[in-house]
Amino acid sequence: MTNDELEGNTLSVYAYIVHAEKPVGTRDVTRGADLSSPSVAHRHLQKLEATGLIEKNQYGDYILKQKANINGHVWVGKNLVPRLMFYSFFFMGAFAAEVSIIVLSLLIKDLVIQTSFFFLTGITFVAMILFFVEGILLFRKIKPKKAK
């Protein structure tokens, strides 16, 4: 299985196992990854086991064998965060700098800002919001429930 195949429910199951940091059974995965039945969870667990990302212990529970690099995501501790979130943080910093310049221009009488700078600030704000919203939507797709 390539990183391209690690998506959807399989990615949710994998993220849940990484987040759990303990051996998990099929029913745990069903609840934690919000799957419809234990058989669906079992099928995704078998797919992950076949790739070598997880393994079954002597009790029949599944444990993490290795963390995989997932396209479009970054591991932050045990959480899988979409790269779009980091792009939104970049634009947030640029937006803060642009707003600071606008505030300085209001405080300093000799500093004049062209109209195009306000247009640029608006574009930066829209880019920040778009990246942030898309990142949150991706994050919600794969965010596992709390492991018990």
Separation in Å, CA 94 to CA 50, 111, 112, 114, 115: 44, 20, 19, 18, 18
Whether 110 is covered by a domain: the verdict is: yes
pTM above 0.85, yes or no: no
What is the total count of domains within the chain?
2
Residue 82 belongs to what domain range?
74-142
Pair 136, 78 in one domain: yes
| pLDDT above 50 (res 101) | yes
pLDDT value at position 136? Answer: 94
Whether 1 is covered by a domain: the verdict is: no
Pair 52, 103 in one domain: no
- Output the 3-class SS for the chain: CCCCCCCHHHHHHHHHHHHHCCCECHHHHHHHCCCCCHHHHHHHHHHHHHHCCEEECCCCCEEECCCCCCCCEEEECCEEEEHHHHHHHHHHHHHHHHHHHHHHHHHCCCCCCCHHHHHHHHHHHHHHHHHHHHHHHHHHHHCCCCCC
Please say whether the beta carbons of 6 and 38 come within 8 A: no
Pair 43, 86 in one domain: no
Pair 32, 50 in one domain: yes
pLDDT value at position 1? Answer: 46
| pLDDT above 70 (res 147) | no
Pair 80, 131 in one domain: yes
Q: Report residue 17 CA to chain centroid gap.
A: 15
Average pLDDT, the chain: 88
Lookup: tokens for 33: 């990854």
Whether 147 is covered by a domain: the verdict is: no
Please say whether the beta carbons of 70 and 3 come within 8 A: yes
| pLDDT above 70 (res 105) | yes
pLDDT tens digits for 47-91? 998 888 999 989 989 999 888 888 888 988 888 899 999 999 999
The CATH number of residue 56's host domain is 1.10.10.10
pLDDT value at position 143? Answer: 73
Highest mean pLDDT among 4-8, 21-25, 101-105, 124-128: 124-128
pLDDT tens digits for 39-48? 998 999 999 9
Whether 131 is covered by a domain: the verdict is: yes
Pair 59, 84 in one domain: no
Whether 2 is covered by a domain: the verdict is: no
